[in-house]
């Protein structure tokens, strides 16, 4: 373990459209950091293991119908039920690599036509990421990647709207990586920016909250 007891871990978030490669990059990154001896965990949202997560899962599988506002709040609640643990992990020096976070929450719900500010409100007070990496791919290219899995949001027309919503959320602190690059190139770029962010956190960057 390369970290000392007084330094905190970094909250690293990966975002992007469905099939942008986030999940495989998250696990590669996790594996790399773990092998390097860092204290690190791989998280994802929705976390389908909780009671709320199971409701979300059946909604996504089209087994349950829910009002757009209601499902939005469930996605948010799913993050809130993990907030305390998240803070404990970070303060004890563990870096968290998180596949999707509040930005997915806002991007997907506002793509349905819900008001962006309304969508952001329940996220206020969750921990702000130290780094947001956006894996950038066009909806058309993403759709070509062996087709979608058949969950509720995995449709080209909807993903186009999500891409536009993400654009409104980007700020200058986001790191954008071209998700059509070879997997190893993405992996290398990701490692570099993540290690930078971890160093800044180790040096005492305070934890902050959404929305900064």
Q: Give the pair of three-digit tokens for residue 12.
A: 């690293």
Q: Does the footprint of ligand TMP cover residue 108 (CB under 6 A)?
A: yes
Rounded to the nearest whole angstrom, what is the least distance from the CB of residue 65 to ligand TMP in the complex? 15
Q: Does the footprint of ligand TMP cover residue 45 (CB under 6 A)?
A: yes
The binder of ligand TMP chosen from 9, 16, 105, 129 (CB under 6 A): 105
Candidates 4-12, 104-112, 170-178, 199-207: pick the segment binding ligand TMP (CB under 6 A): 104-112
Rounded to the nearest whole angstrom, what is the least distance from the CB of residue 16 to ligand TMP in the complex? 10
* Partners of 14 in beta bridges: 99, 133
Q: Does the footprint of ligand TMP cover residue 18 (CB under 6 A)?
A: yes
Q: Cis bond leading into 211, ω under 30°?
A: yes
Q: Does the footprint of ligand TMP cover residue 46 (CB under 6 A)?
A: yes
Rounded to the nearest whole angstrom, what is the least distance from the CB of residue 182 to ligand TMP in the complex? 22
How do strand 40-44 and strand 131-136 relate by DSSP bridges?
A: unpaired
Give the sign of the dihedral formed by CA 152, CA 53, CA 90, CA 29: negative
Give the sign of the dihedral formed by CA 30, CA 177, CA 204, CA 10: negative
Question: Site residues for ligand TMP, window 130-159 (CB under 6 A)?
Answer: 153
Closest CA to 173 of 191, 192, 193, 188: 193
Q: Would you give the binding string for ligand TMP spanning residues 52-81, x where CB under 6 A is met?
A: --------x--------------x------
Closest CA to 109 of 97, 121, 127: 121
Chain residues that interact with ligand TMP, rule: CB under 6 A: 18, 45-46, 60, 75, 100, 104-105, 108, 153
């Amino acid at each position: 373990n390369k970290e000392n007891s007084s330094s905190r871990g970094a909250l690293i978030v990966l975002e992007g459209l469905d099939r942008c490669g986030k999940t495989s990059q998250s696990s590669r990154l996790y594996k790399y950091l773990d092998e390097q001896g860092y204290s690190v965990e791989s998280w994802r949202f929705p976390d389908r293991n909780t009671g709320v997560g199971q409701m979300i899962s059946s909604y996504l599988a089209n087994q349950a119908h829910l009002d757009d506002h209601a499902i939005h709040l469930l996605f948010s609640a799913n993050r809130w039920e993990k907030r305390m643990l998240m803070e404990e992990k970070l303060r004890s020096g563990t870096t968290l690599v998180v596949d999707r976070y509040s930005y997915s929450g806002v991007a997907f719900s506002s793509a349905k036509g819900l008001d962006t500010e309304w969508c952001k409100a329940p996220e206020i007070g969750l921990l702000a990421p130290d780094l947001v990496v956006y894996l950038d791919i066009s909806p058309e290219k993403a759709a070509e990647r062996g087709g979608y899995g058949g969950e509720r949001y995995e449709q080209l027309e909807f993903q186009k709207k999500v891409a536009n919503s993400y654009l409104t959320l980007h700020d200058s602190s986001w790191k954008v990586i071209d998700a059509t690059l070879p997997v190893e190139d993405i992996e290398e770029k990701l490692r570099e920016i993540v290690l930078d962010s971890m160093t800044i956190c180790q040096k005492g960057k305070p934890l902050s909250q959404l929305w900064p």
